[in-house]
Structure 1
């Protein structure tokens, strides 16, 4: 039976381990069994500069490097292993440390964009955290920011009900798109970005033509606030229906795609992006904060009460797998290889592999909300309530 490790204290705070003799707590739990608590104690540093750590109870520290620690727990049922990974770098100067980093994205080309709870939107270098541009123009909080595939254009949306398109090179706003009647919570960029999608507290998802700054279609009757949206190309055997009307020639590359949305009312819904047909509407445990299409057959959603539900798009009536790694909210997903990273409201951020097992946990956030996790295939970045952007190595994590 799969088990889980709880928070592991301040492992690798400021890229160092604990002082000699200091301790952190660690807990382990399996379904329907009480939680087992233990401690990890620092016994100093070896002559090679590697921390020496020992565990209490049934916790065994298998391997330690300057940035990773692998812990095994053994009970009467089996053995369970978790790798803990410390950040390579922590960027505290991008945003004010008293403000939460609420949204985040990065490009393989070395740029990052992030927003904070003060409504500030910044473009920075992923190698060193140096801010290159302040994107000024939103009125109020910015809830979503993403790069277009070009890597030099940014899309943002927020409490002011506006979508803005920015040049990351100049910092200038190239387009301002309006039409929602409440805050914009999430966005999707379709292919190269001639069309985009936005979900809102007004209970709708809108499909936009960026060039003409016009709305091509509004997905209505979603059942309340639409917290998140995602798109993907499903298996050809999944019936998305046929378009009831001829679409505008301004609508590009929407054919054959599935639109996934998550609602505050607690449902995950699927629509044919071009056909506008509702394909499914599945009740969830609670408000759906984030969703993502993983493959042509699978999708995942996360709820406010801590459930991760993996869906089989070919048989949506029965979840493929349900995980509950935390009592706190699931806040974001980011795909990597054949699995996905998960960030939560209790400061944990972990990787779930293709077998739906949790293998790796990213440390450093303590108990602060991690609002966003993103991956550029070589590094993982997190945006946290403590104002920090943290950078982790995928190779050190063994991913």
Structure 2
């Protein structure tokens, strides 16, 4: 039995936290219909700040239907309760906005626990910079086209990047040099996964291939899976104990495979399917059909995965029983672009949509946390560094959030 979550989705004016006393800010809600029609119920509200700790529904637009009540307001958080669904919506503003790193849309982003970031943009640049000082350290030159994904290795001293030019490049985060370039895909490389400490990596692309690489020997070890030219949009990897059967390899393992045992790879495809693959066995473990292109996928906990689709659906599956989703969220018809699992302040996941909304969902289904700041510009990637959330936006800005601000 699938638990379906469908409640009004609220959007708050992006610069609400900068509003002065007696200034009005707007609040917009969309109530998704349960059928396939697109005539969703949309409402707009005016809110008025009356002092530094209080806000009301503006008298010119009375809330006659009693749609919501305002629970709390501060410069850090605005909380409202939707009366009909009894869901509390908490809105938080970014604690910092980085707007001078790139000139155009930021496609990919990663932030190390040290505060060092790497990001790529449609302005043709990929840069290493410091989130503490906002100082540019290096510009990484070598890709010919847009970089779709850049990511730190676990050491935080090495970066791997993949892009439209079908190249895989490994960079030094210490001096910005690029000692390794690998080729092998015949289409744009869309995503990558790092195996253990990074002696092996996995890449996926529009050619429908998931490839395992040796970073030391700079070669492709083998193809892990072939969808038959169906583009693979995203991937995720996780270690498993002996509690889950990851299949048996039919041929002898290559000596260059390091850390591939007990690993599962998730593949999100343009045809709407999610594949579970044993990395060492190269066996297909399961296939899930989502009926819409799957844009992103992630592991949520030991046996659960989450996936976001182009039609706005978010699914949570238990891989031990994948015939139907455990939970199905549909609070926006806007395509899901990125998602990550988080551990603090609660276990859950953060998801971004093409309409610029960024939401934190967790076990308490009576609350949802909205990360504001984007004025309807898509959020292409979300990053979590165990303390802060960072978002990469089409408006060329990186925003930094502290989730605990919603509960202080």
TM-score by length of 1: 0.92
SS at match of 2:179: strand
1:227 touches 1:289 (CA, 8 Å); kept in 2? yes
Equivalent-residue separation in structure 2 for 1:356 and 1:134 (angstroms): 43
Contact 1:124 1:131 in 2 (8 A): yes
Gaps of 5+ in 1: none
CA distance in 1, matches of 2:320, 2:225: 24
Give the aligned partner of residue 25 of structure 1: 27
Partner SS for 1:396: helix
CA–CA distance in structure 1, aligned partners of residues 386 and 406 of structure 2:
12
- Structure 2 residue 106 is matched with structure 1 residue 86: no
Task: Tell me which of 282, 288, 293 is aligned to 1:282.
Answer: 288
1:349 equivalent to 2:349? Answer no
Deviations 1:290-331 (A, max 9, x none): 111122210111111111111111011221111112111111
Q: How many residues align?
A: 391
- Picking from 71, 80, 95, the partner of 1:71 is 80
C-alpha contact 1:123 1:133 (8 A) present in aligned 2: yes
CA distance in 2, matches of 1:6, 1:321: 17
Distance 1:303 1:358, change over 3 A: farther
| Equivalent residue runs for 1:155-174 within 5 Å | 155-174=160-179
Contact 1:11 / 1:24 at 8 angstroms: preserved in 2?
no
Pairwise CA distance, 1:247: 1.1
Matches of 1:8 and 1:397, distance apart in 2: 16
Please say if 1:52 is aligned against 2:55.
yes
Q: 2:387 aligns with which of 369, 378, 391?
A: 378
Q: 1:35 aligns to what?
A: 41
Partner of 2:156, secondary structure, is coil
2:279 equivalent to 1:270: no
Supply the distance in 2 between the matched residues of 1:336 and 1:272 (Cα, whole angstroms).
24
Q: How does 1:151-230 map to 2 (within 5 A)?
A: 151-223=156-228, 224-230=230-236
In 2, distance between residues paired with 1:374 and 1:294?
A: 15
In 2, the alpha carbon distance for the partners of 1:105 and 1:51 equals 37
1:30 Cα offset (Å): 6.5
Change (3 A) 1:277 1:329: same
Q: Give the corresponding residue for 1:131.
A: 136
SS in 1 for 2:377: coil
- Secondary structure at 1:173 match in 2: coil
Contact 1:270 1:278 in 2 (8 A): yes
Pairing 1:105-120 to 2, within 5 Å after superposition: 105-120=110-125
Match of 2:314 in 1: 308
Mapped pair 1:248 → 2:254 = yes
Paired residues of 2:122 and 2:146 also in contact (CA < 8 A): yes
Equivalent in 4, 9, 18 of residue 6 of structure 1? 9
- Runs of 4+ more than 6 Å apart: none
Q: Residue 5 of structure 1 contacts residue 26 of structure 1 at CA under 8 Å; is this kept in 2?
A: no
Q: Distance in 1 between matches of 2:235 and 2:243?
A: 22
Q: CA offsets, 1:58-101, max 9 Å, x none?
A: 222211111211111213xx5221100111111110110xx111
Aligned partners of 1:30, 1:79: CA distance in 2, in Å?
16
SS in 1 for 2:405: coil
- Do the aligned residues in 2 keep the contact of 1:2 with 1:357 (CA within 8 Å)? no
| CA distance in structure 2 between the partners assigned to 1:178 and 1:259 by the alignment | 21
Q: 1:179 to 1:324 in 2, by over 3 A?
A: same
**TM-superposition CA deviations, 1:117-173 (whole Å, max 9, x none):** 123111111224322111111001000011111112111100110011111121111
Distance in 2, matches of 1:356 and 1:166, equals 42
